[in-house]
Structure 1
Amino acid sequence: MQTHRIISHLRFCSNVWRSAAASSAANCARGITYNPAARENWTQSTYFSHHRRDYQCRRFHGNQKEDDAEIHLDTATYERVCSETLDALCDYFEELTENANDLKGSDVSYGDGVLTVNLGQPHGTYVINRQTPNKQIWLSSPTSGPKRFDFVGSKWIYKHSGETLHSLLQLEIPNIIKSQSIDFIQLPYGS
């Protein structure tokens, strides 16, 4: 009877560790890592295991100083920076679409913290909006999909890749509007 319990427990533990290894491989592809050494220093941690609590899961979010700078962003500063960013992007997109001869059916609208840039067929629509509860700007791009940007230092950063909002637009929009010189980096909070 005791041998049966031990074998059952070993099978259970084997399944847990096999599952943990598969989970670890899948999470690694998503930018998540397990770190048994530094539990106390991390925020946003989740632990898993059967008996062991020394494995910890944490998404990469840049360095701790950047995380602290983002956490201490007060609401008034966020509102000001977000409004300046969206206003400048709106004005710039309006200028670009007005001067673009190759865009048929394009339209730019901005209201209630939502900037919608319809670049016509086949290019699609960009939606850039504020997310006040999270203190973020969200981008929905027909080219690269959805992204959430945090204000870190003096830029809007997508923390999964370190890419900025303005640099992403700088990569995508010139492929659509080819008749003009485009420079999103010169806008407020672009560099």
Structure 2
Amino acid sequence: MLNHRLFSALSLNVVKYSKNHHHVQNCIFSSSSRSLLRDRNHEQFPFYFSHHCRNFHSSITLSSEKSGDGMVDHTSLGDFPFTQTQYLKAINRSVEYITEVLDEFYENETDYLEEKGIDMEVEGGHDGVVNIKITTRKSNGPLIFVISRQTPARELWLSSALSGPWHFKYDHVADDWICTREGFPKFWVRLQKELSQVLEKEIKFEKSN
């Protein structure tokens, strides 16, 4: 297996060459392709793909609380002078962490994924958006999960193939994304639960603890 290391798509536009198509796309990795990327200074960066992975590490401990009526207490969100710079930093950190976890999962579970006939394609970039497409033997086409930033509202949105749309506000006290509709589950809890369900194996986000 070639050693490929994932470089964050926050700073790189990565080139994907599909085995069935010759056009170029922006993406993080795909199980059906591999290539190399050169930056403007012609320094060579390894291109990362599913089933051929290496991880770079990030870890943040999180917690959250509900108010007495069962809804999330947005005091820490509303009163905190959350600037656009701080918001974008939180979004970028979250997007980077998602790619890190997926990278490590594929490195550790290559044989399992091949045995189960599971293919995952993750596309993203510096725009605060990650598209996850998972195809299994049981699925009728790819199951799509989209994580995206919503700068005007300063929210993180999740479009889930299993449960539909979700909106999350950043809680600076808990250092977590809290559901604006129900308060719980938090973003990381929901993402972990639903990806694990589709993959039929737990994919662990430390932030869901």
Q: Which residue of 1 aligns with 2:3?
A: none
AA aligned opposite 2:163? S
Structure 1 residues 103, 161: closer, same or farther in 2, change over 3 A? Answer: farther
Query: Normalized per residue, which structure has more helix?
Result: 1
AA aligned opposite 2:73? N
Q: Which residue of 2 aligns with 1:118?
A: 133
Q: Is 1:68 the equivalent of 2:78?
A: yes
AA aligned opposite 2:97? A
The answer for unaligned runs of 5 or more in structure 2 is 1-69
Q: CA RMSD in A?
A: 2.3
Q: Scaled by the length of structure 2, what TM-score is found?
A: 0.54
Q: Is 1:77 the equivalent of 2:86?
A: yes
CA distance in 2 between partners of 1:86 and 1:69 (Å): 25
AA aligned opposite 1:134? A
- Asked whether the equivalents of residues 77 and 169 of structure 2 are also in contact (C-alpha less than 8 Å), the reply is no
CA distance in 2 between partners of 1:169 and 1:126 (Å): 9
1:71-104: CA deviation from partner (whole Å, max 9, x where unpaired) = x211111111110001111222243346333253
103-112 or 126-135, which deviates more: 103-112
- The higher radius of gyration belongs to 1
Q: Which residue of 1 aligns with 2:167?
A: 148
Structure 1 residues 69, 61: closer, same or farther in 2, change over 3 A? Answer: farther
Q: Is 1:109 the equivalent of 2:123?
A: yes
Q: Which residue of 2 aligns with 1:139?
A: 158
Structure 1 residues 92, 64: closer, same or farther in 2, change over 3 A? Answer: closer
Q: Scaled by the length of structure 1, what TM-score is found?
A: 0.58
- Asked whether the equivalents of residues 154 and 169 of structure 2 are also in contact (C-alpha less than 8 Å), the reply is yes
Q: Which residue of 1 aligns with 2:179?
A: 158
Alpha-carbon offset, residue 67 of structure 1 = 4.2
Q: Which residue of 2 aligns with 1:168?
A: 190
Kindly tell me the number of residue pairs found equivalent between the two proteins.
127
Alpha-carbon offset, residue 69 of structure 1 = 3.8
